[in-house]
Amino acid sequence: MDWVNAVVQGTLLGGLYALFAAGLSLIFGVMRLVNIAHGDLIVLGAYLGLTVVMATGLHPLLALVFVVPTMAAIGYVLQRGILNKTLGDDILPPLLVTFGLSVILQNLFLEGYTADPQKMNAGALETASVSVGGLSLGVLPLLTFGIAIFVIASLQFIFYRTPLGRSFRAVSDNQEIAQLMGLNKRHIFGLAMALALAVTAIAGILLGIRTSFDPTAGGARLIYGFEAVIIGGLGNLWGTLVGGVILGVAQTVGAKIDPGWQLLAGHIAFLVVLAIRPNGLFPRVSG
């Protein structure tokens, strides 16, 4: 039963990792931008949530009402103001600039919030649990997993069923020809980053409720996000959820064998998938 429990807890943890990964995947899919600052942007979402909670006394989940649009706006401005200028045939400038952005964000967090770990208090939600078939499942992890499914289903809907998603796919396919359709790729990229950071805001707040975070917490989240994206196969959103789950399960099962193995087991699972299926489990078939 302990093992079943580890697998179930890992699966639910995978929902959070999928949320870390979804924004990364979306940005890479639309504009081939590898965003090194993604983890720090998740932490930015957590700090913004903390700020709203402290200023208003709202429940952290309600803080989403402010943090999601704020992060989306930051995403649009960041993309149009800086990141668009780095995109071109050379893949190095976006890497360097988002790396620099990561350093800047971490320093801003340190200035604004000190190096002390912070956490958002979600009250009874944090300890509430339901018992299912002899397993005790936390309400918060269940809720996180449910939100992850909802977010991925929504992104999937936007991508494949709306004019905006059609524009995302067209620009991703062929930027030049997409411009001929009257699409301003700079604007489309801005919208994609806004959407990605809206998802990142959700990930950040759920992170900040689940665990404590500090200015350097982004690095690990970036790696989990990357690993989930790559396990699932680049550009496949449901694959990203599966990738998150595999990573989560590997970590909880690893921790079950030996508490020190938690992170290592996740990385090993990632490397094993990469060795067997270099394109991930469900790569997008490209035309």
Partner 1 sequence: MPEPILSLRKLEARYGDFQALYGVEMALNEGEVLAIIGANGAGKTTLLRSVSGLMSNAAAQVVYHGQPIGALRADEVAALGIALVPEGRQLFPSLSVEENLLIGGRLNRKGPWSLDAVFELFPVLKERRAFASTALSGGQQQRVAIGRALMSNPDLILFDEISLGLAPVIIKSIYEALPGIVGDGMSAIIVEQDVSKALSVSDRVYCLMEGRVSLEGRSRDISREAISRAYFGVE
Q: Is 90 in the site for partner 1 (CB under 8 A)?
A: no
Which residue's CB is nearer to partner 1, number 99 or number 238?
A: 238
Which residue's CB is nearer to partner 1, number 116 or number 176?
A: 176
Q: Is 157 in the site for partner 1 (CB under 8 A)?
A: no
Which residue's CB is nearer to partner 1, number 182 or number 259?
A: 182
How many residues at the interface with partner 1, by CB under 8 A?
20
Q: Is 84 in the site for partner 1 (CB under 8 A)?
A: no
Which residue's CB is nearer to partner 1, number 137 or number 170?
A: 170
Q: How far is the CB of 154 from partner 1 (least distance, A)?
A: 19
Q: How far is the CB of 287 from partner 1 (least distance, A)?
A: 3
Residue type, 269: A
Q: Is 133 in the site for partner 1 (CB under 8 A)?
A: no
| Of 65, 181, 268, 271, the one binding partner 1 by CB under 8 A | 181
Angstrom distance (rounded) from CA 50 to CA 32: 32
What lies within 8 Å, CB to CB, of 45 at 6+ separation is 67, 71, 197, 200, 201, 202, 203, 204, 205, 207, 208
Residues 159-178 that bind partner 1 (CB under 8 A): 163, 166-167, 169-170, 172-174, 176-178
Q: How far is the CB of 278 from partner 1 (least distance, A)?
A: 22
Q: Is 57 in the site for partner 1 (CB under 8 A)?
A: no
Q: How far is the CB of 240 from partner 1 (least distance, A)?
A: 17
For residue 19, the tally of other CB atoms under 10 A from its CB is 30
Q: How far is the CB of 167 from partner 1 (least distance, A)?
A: 7
Angstrom distance (rounded) from CA 39 to CA 73: 18
Which residue's CB is nearer to partner 1, number 114 or number 161?
A: 161
Angstrom distance (rounded) from CA 71 to CA 63: 12
- C-beta separation of 23 from 196 below 8 A: yes
Q: Is 184 in the site for partner 1 (CB under 8 A)?
A: yes
Q: How far is the CB of 236 from partner 1 (least distance, A)?
A: 12
Q: Can you read off the two tokens belonging to residue 263? A: 């992170």
Q: Is 89 in the site for partner 1 (CB under 8 A)?
A: no
Which residue's CB is nearer to partner 1, number 173 or number 258?
A: 173
Residue 130 pairs with which residues in a beta bridge? 137
Q: How far is the CB of 160 from partner 1 (least distance, A)?
A: 9
Q: How far is the CB of 173 from partner 1 (least distance, A)?
A: 4
Q: Applying CB under 8 A, which residues contact partner 1?
A: 163, 166-167, 169-170, 172-174, 176-185, 286-287
